[in-house]
Each structure stands twice: as C-alpha cells, then as structure tokens.
Structure 1
Amino acid sequence: MFEMPGTPENLLEVRDVRKSFRVPHAGKNKLCALDGITLDLARGETLGLVGESGCGKSTLARTLLMLERPDEGTVRFDGVDPFGLRGAELLKFRSRVQMVFQDPYASLNSRMSAAEIIAEPWRSHKGLIKDRRDRDMRVRGLLDLVGLGAKAADKYPQEFSGGQRQRIGIARALALSPDVIICDEPVSALDLSVQAQVLNLLNDLQEQLNISYIFISHDLSVVRHVADRVAVMYLGRIVETGPTEAVFERSNHPYTAALMSAAPTLNSEARKQRILLQGEVPSPINPPSGCRFRTRCWKATDVCARAAPAGVADPQIPGHSAECHHPMLLEGSGLETVPA
C-alpha cells in the first residue's frame, strides 16, 4: 500500500478501501472490485484516474459518492467520515460531491427544460433557494457561468448540441456549490473541437471556484492535458500514482509503461517503443495471487506470485510511486529498456 499520510491540504483521503460483490453462479467467490485503494485529493486539484474497462474506476466513483459502502478501509472528506453521517449532515455532505456523466444525451431528462434540470438538485436540498425568483436568478447565473446564456433556460435538451448538453450537466453539478466533481468520461462522446471547449470550461471553473476534480478517462491525451496527478488502476488496485508528467514520462510500473507506450504523440522524438501485453485481463472473481499484473508482465518472477508488491518511490520525483517488485526505474538513473 502507498504511504500517503493525511495533511490539512487534502480534501479527500481514501485509505485501504476494499469492495466486493456477490455474483450469480460464482459460489462463495466474490467479484473483488476494489482491493486496498489508497489515494488523496487536494483542494483545487485534478486527479486523473485511468485504466482498462473493469478495473474498478466506476466502483471507486460510486463509493466516493456514497452510493456504495466499502467493506473495509476508510474514506475521509474534509476530515470527516461521510459513512458515519446521518440526516441533515449526510444531506449536506452529498451536496459537496457531485458528478458529471459520460453521455450528455442520456443524462438529461428530455421532458425537462434546461432551467428545470439545473434546478432539480434544489428539490432535495431544501433551504438553498428563497423562492422562484431566487431560483430563476441562480439558474441564469449558472447558464452564464457555463457559457450558454440565460436564453437557454426555457429550451429542452433535444434543442441543444452534445457539447451544449454537457454544459447543462456541468451547470447542474455546480448548482449545489460542490467541493468535488467526479467527471466520468465527460468528453468521450463529443467531437474533438467540442472536447477542447468543454475541457477549457472545466479548467476555467476550477480556477474561479477552486473545485477539485476526479477525472475518469480512457483517453490518455485528455488526462495529460487536464490532470495535476494521475492514478493508474489495474484489476481493483492503484498500481502507480504521481504527478502527471512523471507518470507519463517516467512510468515506473510495467502496466503503466504499456499504457503510455500506446498513447499517440505528434512528437517523433518522444515516441516510445510499443509494449504489447500478452493474454487477457484476469477475472476479478479469481484474481492472480501476489501481483495481479504478473500473468501479463514480461518482468514477472517467482516473488511476484508469492507476495503483493509494496509501493516503490521514484528517487527523483516526490509523490511518484508504483507497486512493483521489479519497477521500471533503475537505481540512480533513467528508464529501463523494455521489449516490444
């Protein structure tokens, strides 16, 4: 497990969180979605969360939204365990963590106007608005904030483009003045030019409002553009974490190196040798012993099967660490040459 001591600057602290699910026809075996997740999120920071489909990213997001309760481990938000809250305190917490969904078409109710969609959170969180006039004024302010303007208030989702719909989704997430927004592939359904506009909007909002983002994405180029730090997930574990450029340019875990070698780049000098992984991702119902990546790793040895690896720090980059018995970084210098 990574050693990440809590500090006052951290808005969110997750320690050794585990979550499993029972599945049909699996007997006593459970699907292990999260296996000892530890991470921090600072105020005003963007943490990129990357990994293959099925690695546990969505389960982690649902846990942070308190839609799933961890089997083990702790989650502390601003120093408080949200799973211990009840009543009004719990409702207040829920206002502080919001979500922007992947599909801007499916995530909006086509029978509601933009104003009704944005105002919907206030129905559950009563007392945040005084009256209809106050509501309308706040809706107009949020529409201006996301670049749509007050004239969009009375229109319905089908009258907007995909990028405009996603702006409505962002405005809805902002309605409760959250501290953290979890962005689940928020631009993957949009055209490239529109993606850039939405990403720039998120960046501007972060600068204005000091919001923290957890940015989930398969698109490594997008993550590199928006994230301050990156956490790489594989089969329920975070195998590497660190500052964005360190993770991209000094990948310490073999799985991260394989991911980064597949990322497209326009800089021919910066192109890395492609690492092709062998085999399929193991089942989370019956994961490998020791290191979960060992069945696909060209560096695996007997020790990888016997014991789960501890976090290994990058000696040159503070905060950059990977769980690996045979990290990519050699002692004292540079990256190891890896096979194709």
Structure 2
Amino acid sequence: MLEVRGVTKTFGGGRRRLTALDGVDVRVGRGQTLGLVGESGCGKSTLARVLLGLERPDAGTVRFDGTDPFALRGRELLAWRRRVQMVFQDPFASLNARMSAADLIGEPWRTHRDVVPGAKAREKRIRELLDLVGLRASDAHRYPNEFSGGQRQRIGIARALALDPDLIVCDEPVSALDLSVQAQVLNVLSDLRTRLGVTYVFISHDLSVVRYISDLVTVMYLGKVVEHGATEDVFERPRHPYTAALMSAAPVLDTGRGDHREEIRLQGEIPSPFDIPSGCRFRTRCRHAEDRCASEAPPVVGRDTPGGAEPHTALCHFPLDAATAWT
C-alpha cells in the first residue's frame, strides 16, 4: 500500500538548516498497521505530513499503491486525497465547536461532492458512520461540547472514514484521553481495520499502545529510521540500543512473562537537529559506542526471520542479539 524510499526533508538554510528526515525508508502492506515511535523531534510528524502530501520531500520517493502522489495534478490529485485521511491528536481542537456532529462528519463532502451525492444519501451515510464508531444516530445533531473526549475522537474517526480512504494517518490519537477511554478508541480503530481493510500509520509515544495495535514497528531517532520489523520481533528482541532503551522504560504489567529487563538510562539530551553528531547520530547517548561510531555512518543490519516474515533491520555498527538485548 505504501512504500517510502530514501526520503529527505530539510527546513531553513545555511547554519540554520534543519534536517527533519534523512534517507527514511518505510513500508506497510494493505490492511496492516505501522507503528511509528521515537522521542519528540525525531521526525514522526514531518513524515506524516509527507505521507499526506502536505510536505514535498527534497529527495527520495513516495509510492502509494504504486502511484507517486507528488506527480499528480488537478482532478487526479483531488481523487488521491480522498484515499489518504488523518485522525488528529486533540479531539477537541480538531473539531469546529460551531458545527454539529453531522456537519463535521459530512464536511469532506463539501470538497469531494461526488462521493455521496444527495441530501438523503448523506444523512443515511452519516448514520452509518456514527454506528461504525459506536455512536447513536441521535448524536448527529449534538455539538462537540456535548461529547466526552472519547466520543469526540470517534467523531474525528468517522470524519476520516467519510471518504472511504485506503490509508489513515493517526497522529497520537489517544494521548489526550483517559486510559479507559484510550482502550475504547483503540478497539474502534482495530475493529474498523478488520471490517473495512483500512491501513493505518499510527504515531505514538506510548509503546504499550503501539504494541497492541501495530503489525509493524518503525523506530526513529533524529530523522533516521534506526529499527524496523514485525511488532513482536522488535519488542521481544530489539536490535538497536536506542530501541532497547525505549523498551526498558516501558511499564510491564504482566510480571509472569519472564522478562528480566535492565533499566537502561540514556545519558544527556537529544542532540540538536541543527548540529547532528558525525557517524552514528545516537553515539553520544549510547553506552556501546566505540571510536568507529564517531567516524563511520552505521550500516543497515538485518536479522534472519522465518520464511515470508517481515525483515528485522537495525541501523547500527554493533546490533544487539537475542542474548544481549537486555544487558
């Protein structure tokens, strides 16, 4: 469904040149969920804007179902935009408080008029979308301030579904919600993927959320993809020291799983994106770093996976193996 190769995106110029994405590779199949994780400032939101066609990459390629969206113009571009939608982080700020739920859900049809033609057909479709996300038909005429945070996010999801998209980019869609409400919204997203076959790119800082909903995980650090693989491979056998540190910081609720994880505390702050370290950009915080890490850019190293399984790769001179991942 989606393949990104070598995408680079910079902002500014001269000494104030910021490299937000640096040779990023991402791929996700139809009906899958890709979890995108990393600390603030690693490039997740910039990548999301590239996937949505809101930012043009300086280099690299983006293929959506085999099509380059940045080569489209006019009606072809408008038709493509129907296929890619977004669920925003804040379920209140992303909804116009002066519009009813029905108007919010039907808002995309103002631009894409031919998707659901006719007032009666639109009313019927709004009722169907409300039902899909677990709301009542009678909720159509209520306003955002009359809903809870979780219900508002359901309206945002229904609006994203109004154009029958193939891909939905979810940017921290549950971070502003209470824990119990997060579970409800995640279950809605998971159920919709099963019923509709929609593909998700799911951005989150919460590793437990990513593990629950994702088939694949991509870990980013300072504009680079440092690890990618099937969710269980990455969580159970992280290869990059940065990924291992993230996993060690995540709470483990099931103490009977037999995990014996050493807490890995990263030293210092993330380097400035205006002054990225030479060689491996993670070396300034990595306890495995050696002289080579400062002078040579790390290679992409793969781990063998069973036939047909998603390759598990890491960008590291000294990738961790199953025996040393937590030591």
TM-score by length of 2: 0.96
Q: Report the AA paired with residue 11 of structure 2.
A: F
Give the distance between the partners of 1:28 and 1:124, measured in 2 at CA: 41
Shift in Å, 1:338: 5.4
Structure 1 contact 48–228 (Cα < 8 Å) conserved: yes
Report the identity percentage.
Answer: 64
Distance in 2 separating the partners of 1:198 and 1:134: 27
Q: Using a 3 Å threshold, how does the CA distance of structure 1 residues 276 and 92 change in structure 2: closer, same or farther?
A: same
Structure 2 counterpart of 1:336: 324
Q: 2:282: which partner in 1? A: 293
- TM-fit CA distance, 1:315: 2.6
Q: 1:176 — aligned with what?
A: 163
Following TM superposition, by how much is the alpha carbon of 1:278 offset from its aligned partner in structure 2, in angstroms?
0.6
How much does 1:221 deviate? 0.5
1:326 equivalent among 315, 318, 327: 318
Pairwise CA distance, 1:316:
4.4
For structure 1, which segment, 232-241 or 301-310, has the greater mean C-alpha deviation from structure 2 after superposition? 301-310
For residue 267 of structure 1, report the CA deviation from its aligned partner. Answer: 3.0
Runs of 4+ more than 4 Å apart: none
Deviation of the 1:28 alpha carbon = 3.7
User: What is the CA distance between 1:337 and its match in structure 2?
Assistant: 6.0
- Residue 336 of structure 1 deviates from its aligned partner by 1.1
1:298 deviation in Å? 0.8
Deviation at 1:335, TM superposition (A): 2.5
Deviating more after overlay: 136-145 vs 66-75: 136-145
Q: CA RMSD in A?
A: 1.2
In structure 1, the residue matched to 2:270 is 281
Per the normalisation by structure 1, the TM-score is 0.92
Map 1:174-323; keep pairs closer than 5 Å.
Answer: 174-268=161-255, 269-316=258-305, 318=309, 319-323=311-315
Distance in structure 1 (CA, Å) of the matches to 2:182 and 2:15: 44
Aligned-pair distance for 1:143? 0.6
Compute the displacement of 1:266 (Å): 2.1
What is the CA–CA distance in structure 1 between the aligned matches of 2:75 and 2:139, rounded to whole Å?
Answer: 33
Q: Is 1:103 the counterpart of 2:60 in the alignment?
A: no
Of the structure 1 ranges 152-161 and 189-198, higher mean CA displacement relative to structure 2 is found in 189-198
Which one-letter code corresponds to 1:41 in the other structure? V
Cα deviation code 1:207-230 (max 9, x no counterpart)? 010000001000001111000010
Q: Distance in 2 between matches of 1:150 and 1:303?
A: 62
**Alpha-carbon distance, 1:96 to partner:** 0.6
CA distance in 2, matches of 1:31, 1:89: 32
Distance 1:253 1:171 in 2: 37
From 63, 66, 75, give the equivalent of 2:53. 66
Partner of 2:115, secondary structure, is coil
Maintained 8 Å contact 1:102/1:185: yes
Q: Give the length in aligned residue pairs.
A: 322
CA separation in 2, counterparts of 1:235 and 1:307?
17
Q: CA deviation at 1:129?
A: 2.0
**Distance (whole Å) between structure 2 residues aligned to residue 243 and residue 94 of structure 1:** 28
Shift of 1:125: 1.0
Counterpart secondary structure, 1:270: coil
